[in-house]
Structure 1
């Protein structure tokens, strides 16, 4: 493995030809040699396809694949906004990583390390042959190459800190050079330079036949995100330069992030998707539609999923099937919003539910909330797919009888229901067919970056730089879109809360906890247990509402230890390159 990931690009394994009516399909028909690849536009598309497929799994990969030894997207489940319904998953890789298992994290880390360096090797090989690329597409392909090289190193930086900065084809069988660990300074500068070069080569917008490829704005957003990440509290005044800066560089990093974000904003390409309606139902429908519309004016970068409803032969996914309640024939309950998250939604008047003046009624907790709550979360009494969600228990002859959406579907012993008393609605398509067909697929794209996130990043920067009026304006732009009252002044808690609500269930919420240096507190059960809701309606019509722990002190233990801010580097590379491992990891 330690050799293969570096020489796979140099060897240029035969490219698989596809039956291609789009960039993101891959049905193999034939194999071709290196000699014809660089000069053929279609074959080059096949060559770069893995760069797209390996950058992010989007909605395609699920916790259910753990038992098959495949990968999964860990970000949404390891924060405190979501948990999963299947109890047996806690006995697999997901649960072991949740419990801070060194062995499982090391295995997962090695897989990701190999995947990213394989793509970097492929990119380096193409760049070595750039003079041979067809003139009519050379600039675009080189832009893609530099963008993805920056993107993969950005991903490595977040997961591992400073890594091996390999910029050219590398074959240790021919040239046994050894690479040191790059410092944070070197990593950030290289990523930023690559992103800037990509921006100079890529078009401002894509033509219809190139939808889904990175643009100039995508590259500048990556550059801004790199500086924004590097400004995080956890990465200042570090003992080792590959773990962060040796001094405090946050102010400088924030300035650089803001400069590049402003370049994205001034391009005029991106803006918030407007919601025309004003009633609660109209706003809810409009907000949900943002995440069902592919490549909208708000989207800066997203994973392209196939439109043809096929999971096995195209890049579709099973989001709707995995997330749905048993009343629709689903059995997985993969995405359970927590009470922790529900409590983050303020009242429609803008006040937190803890404020005595907010009007919050603990006996009617779902009345008068921020409209985004109704768009994102399915609760007892919510309407979905023409069905009223039945998420309470009824007392019958002294026994508690679970409602329809808390009762497993069918006869399967592994069929699951929500553990929290909530189901997710954000991202889901109410019209998607839910059945047991293994080839069916959902098709909505998974947004990685959108303009709302850029505004929230900028609001955070403005606030930290003392520009509170500018920060307030950006927060209110987002609030106006969903017809919530504008704030008259802004605090750090306001910005933090707006980010948590607007970006709910999106991957940035996981990385935010690391960036803010609060992951140990927020992702550990003893300090932040996850709560659900249990509603019991008695025979006389009265009801009780309690909030049991569902993932924390008394059930599944959750730990996030200091060592997990960075995962362990591949041990083969640690030995071969004679470099230091990340702190507190031991070889298993």
Structure 2
């Protein structure tokens, strides 16, 4: 890894000093430089490493940046998105110059870095095929090409999931050529996703399942877990196709607010192929329940992810966890706050967590007691959510126990307080042993793709595939039914299989998929994407962000419980896509603004 990082820095400097002229017009010095960069696997991989260094770390783009734009969280100041203002950069989307050699996640943004990486991918794909330039084995060539194809598709997905379809550039561009042509015309998302899928499919065919198992990966044996492999490509192949086949995106392309059966079938088969490979190789498997949190955090500066996370952000600076993720999600009084308002779960979102018997709290048979709302909930609730009375800090002080009742220490006596009556601990594991010193060694990252997500997307794709239609359907290339895939995730969370009444028809089953995705993928950035692609972002069920107000009774239980509306999100059909910045749409004719903006 150190050797490759050296080449990354060295060859970045070489790359941007080289000529844009055609190969035969280059000077001998430029030819030597190109051979140094692209002539063998080690140096070429150093060039590819720049694309890894374009991967955004979702919640570390600033001291703290919002990355959850649906109904999951609130802080003491309304999000711009909650007010319908999608113009803000939010520390995630754009506003930084590209520098792929720094180790600061605060400089990374989606828009600039994605386009840069796409250009790099196209250059890599051109150079790997240039006659007489690359000298290496067929396996080495395939791995270089497979990574470049994956990254071209993946960075297009990062752009398109927020801004919609784009021109799909597949070659190195001249700085003097005109962009006013059919080649550079904006596509819709579905058209763009089909081209992504082509890249992901070819990448999956070229890449190994595990770099440790092939000769090319031996020099970095045991350090290849974050390398793009066949699982990455198959996962995003299925994800791009499922998104393309989802109602909002299908409506944009065809006018039909329904799932596209053909695209869902293709997605289901991609997920089925991945799950089959996982079963055969054991390279990826669900974490056990006792180690579920390894997906999100580890102590002592250990990388989280375990056996389940397929793709995670690039780690640029381990200390940023302490000063971003932790500082903005724990009580400000702990001495860990970095000056940001505390991001906390909303009460409306917490309602998605089921009871221990596996039934949603809206089910009359669940046993849910609105006057005792935190007793008897499912296990993920207690892993994710801090409620009044929980032990959260190792001190003999007010912070030791959460005081979230009306007038309580964490509700009104600190600045900023919890605005909703909760804290979240998916990435800030607060308990009786939590301390400032432990927080300094905490490593916590938002996964991009993990196996539980694959199971849930498989279930959704199968349900709406042309060969599916029921919770008992399969993909055709994998034996698990749609309901069975959801139950795999539930079983890991110590829950029983879905009750029969929720697998009796497609609509009731889909509502359980919606709820399961909310809980299993809570605070991972999936919710905003899901609600939009399902055409539900403006649905009244998901607009209100609420708090829970209560007094603490003599027995420590909440009394006088009231749900209070804090803000109703502004969301209409124009919020399907983020607006493009004016300077972007003025680049050339044929690159229009998104509808409504």
CA contact (8 A) 1:113 1:570 kept: no
Match for residue 3 of structure 1?
none
Residues 243-277 of structure 1: CA distance to partner in whole angstroms, max 9, x if unpaired?
Answer: x23566710111000010011011124554353xx
The TM-score normalised by the length of structure 2 is: 0.77
How far the C-alpha of 1:109 sits from its partner, in A, is: 6.2
| Structure 1 residues not aligned, in runs of 5+ | 1-18, 66-71, 239-243, 276-282, 394-399, 409-414
| Shift of residue 142, structure 1, vs aligned partner | 1.7
| Alpha-carbon shift at residue 467 of structure 1 (Å) | 3.2
Q: Which residue of 2 aligns with 1:147?
A: 150
Q: CA deviation at 1:326?
A: 3.7
Tell me, in whole angstroms, the C-alpha distance in 2 between the residues paired with 1:382 and 1:204: 43
Pair 1:475 & 2:486 matched? yes
Cα distance in 1 for partners of 2:511, 2:190 equals 30
Report the secondary structure of 1:98's partner residue.
helix
Query: How many pairs align?
Result: 514
Equivalent residues in 2 for 1:392-411 (5 A)? 392-393=404-405, 401-404=407-410, 407-408=413-414
Give the counterpart of 1:536 among 551, 563, 569: 551
Check whether the contact 2:345–2:424 (CA below 8 A) recurs between aligned residues.
yes
Report the equivalent of 2:254. 245
- Change over 3 Å in CA distance of 1:134–1:406 after alignment to 2: farther
Say whether 1:389 aligns with 2:389.
no
Shift of 1:362: 2.3
Q: Is the alpha carbon distance of 1:540 and 1:141 closer, same or farther for their aligned partners in structure 2, counting shifts above 3 Å?
A: closer
Match 1:364 to one of 334, 358, 372: 372
Tell me the equivalent position of 1:82: 73
SS of alignment partner, residue 318 of structure 1? helix
Q: Distance in 2 between matches of 1:122 and 1:148?
A: 9
Shift of 1:30: 9.6
Classify the secondary structure of the residue corresponding to 1:37: helix
Q: Tell me: CA distance 1:418–1:249, structure 2 relative to 1, closer, same or farther (3 Å).
A: closer
The yes-or-no answer on 1:310 pairing with 2:314 is: no
Summarize deviations over 1:106-155 as a string: whole Å, max 9, x none. 99866444332222112212222114345154332221111000101122
Give, in angstroms, the shift of residue 167 of structure 1. 1.1
Residue equivalent to 1:549:
564
In structure 2, the residue matched to 1:578 is 589
Deviations, residues 33-74 of structure 1 (Å, cap 9, x unaligned): 541322365554443334223333244224x45xxxxxx453
Distance 1:401 1:316 in 2: 29
Seen in structure 2, the aligned counterparts of structure 1 residues 402 and 494 have a Cα distance that, compared at 3 Å, is same
Measured against aligned partners, the alpha-carbon deviations of 1:375-424 in whole angstroms (never above 9, x if no partner) come to 1111112233457532234xxxxxx642257532xxxxxx4221111111
SS in 1 for 2:354: coil
Is 2:209 aligned against 1:218?
Answer: no
Secondary structure in structure 1 of the residue aligned to 2:88: helix
Give the alignment of 1:110-509 within 5 angstroms.
Answer: 111=95, 112-130=110-128, 131=130, 132-135=133-136, 137-174=140-177, 178=181, 179-207=184-212, 208-238=222-252, 244-245=253-254, 250-268=260-278, 269=282, 272-275=285-288, 286-292=291-297, 294-305=304-315, 309-311=318-320, 318-326=324-332, 328-331=334-337, 332=340, 334-386=342-394, 389-393=401-405, 401-404=407-410, 407-408=413-414, 415-429=415-429, 434=436, 442-464=442-464, 465-469=468-472, 470-489=481-500, 490=503, 491-509=509-527
Indicate how the Cα distance of structure 1 residues 522 and 457 shifts in structure 2: closer, same or farther if over 3 A, else same.
Answer: farther
Q: Partners in 2 of 1:163 and 1:47 — Cα distance? A: 25
Q: 1:68-122 deviations in whole A, cap 9, x for unaligned? A: xxxx453x2x11111224x3xx4xxxx3343223653699866444332222112
Identify the residue that residue 80 of structure 2 maps to in structure 1.
96
CA contact (8 A) 1:453 1:503 kept: yes
Alpha-carbon distance change, 382 to 539 in structure 1, aligned in 2, over 3 angstroms: closer
Q: Offset at 1:206?
A: 2.8
1:170, CA displacement in angstroms?
A: 1.3
Q: 1:444 to 1:59 in 2, by over 3 A?
A: same
Q: Kindly tell me: are residues 24 and 266 of structure 1, through their superposed partners in 2, closer, same or farther at Cα, counting changes over 3 Å? A: farther
TM value normalised by structure 1: 0.78
Maintained 8 Å contact 2:347/2:547: yes
> 1:573 Cα shift?
5.0
**Paired residue secondary structure (1:533):** strand
Q: Which residue of 2 aligns with 1:396?
A: none
Match of 1:9 in 2: none
How many Å separate the matches in 1 of 2:141 and 2:248? 40
Judge conservation of contact 2:352–2:519 (CA < 8 Å) in 1: yes
Q: CA deviation at 1:367?
A: 0.7
Measure how far apart 1:323 and its partner are.
1.5
